[in-house]
Amino acid sequence: MENKKVLIVDDQNGIRILLMEVFSSEGYTTFQAPNGKLALEIVRNESPDLVLLDMKIPGMDGLEILKHVKAINKDIKVIMMTAYGELDMIKEATDHGALMHFTKPFDIDEMRLAVNMQLRSGESGGWYAVGS
């Protein structure tokens, strides 16, 4: 299996470090960006399989970044993260191709499970049940 790439986009350094540690230990190649400009540069140069994208980022917000990511490569999977319960923004993100969202503070195990399901679903030929 070729190594899957995960890009973490969040202006909070602590969250980027935590997520990078978690997904590196899962065997993914991880990249991080504190802003939209760097995130889009990484998307163009590295073509990540999945982007974990914070909704609220100074400068270019998550929705704007999401639209640019999908314009560069519509097959990149995007999971949104938000500290706000803004249903209209979440709905708009979904309309623009985000797969799901996590509200901060999120459960890191749920996030790991969601990312693994998105990135490994193609290998087993479909979805699989978790639990009994």
Number of structural domains, the chain?
1
Residue 25 lies in a domain: yes
Task: Note whether residue 126 is domain-resident.
Answer: no
Contacts of 117 (CB under 8 A, 6+ apart): 127, 128
- Alpha-carbon distance of 102 to 104, in angstroms, equals 6
Model pLDDT, residue 85: 66
What pLDDT score does 93 carry? Answer: 96
Beta bridge partners of 102: 81
Q: Is 132 inside any structural domain?
A: no
Q: 47 lies in which domain range?
A: 5-121
Q: Is the dihedral of CA 125, 117, 85, 12 positive or negative?
A: negative
User: Residue 80 maps to which CATH number?
Assistant: 3.40.50.2300
Domain assignment present for residue 128? The answer is no
- Residue 61, domain member (yes or no): yes
Per-residue pLDDT of 31-40, as tens digits, reads 999 999 999 9
Check whether 90 has a pLDDT greater than 50.
yes
Any domain includes 37: yes
The whole-angstrom distance between residue 86's C-alpha and the CA centroid of its chain comes to 18
Question: Could you report the per-residue pLDDT of 60-76, keeping only the tens digit for each?
Answer: 999 999 999 999 999 99
Residue 129: pLDDT over 80: no
Check whether 126 has a pLDDT greater than 70.
no
Residue 87: pLDDT band with limits 50, 70, 90: confident
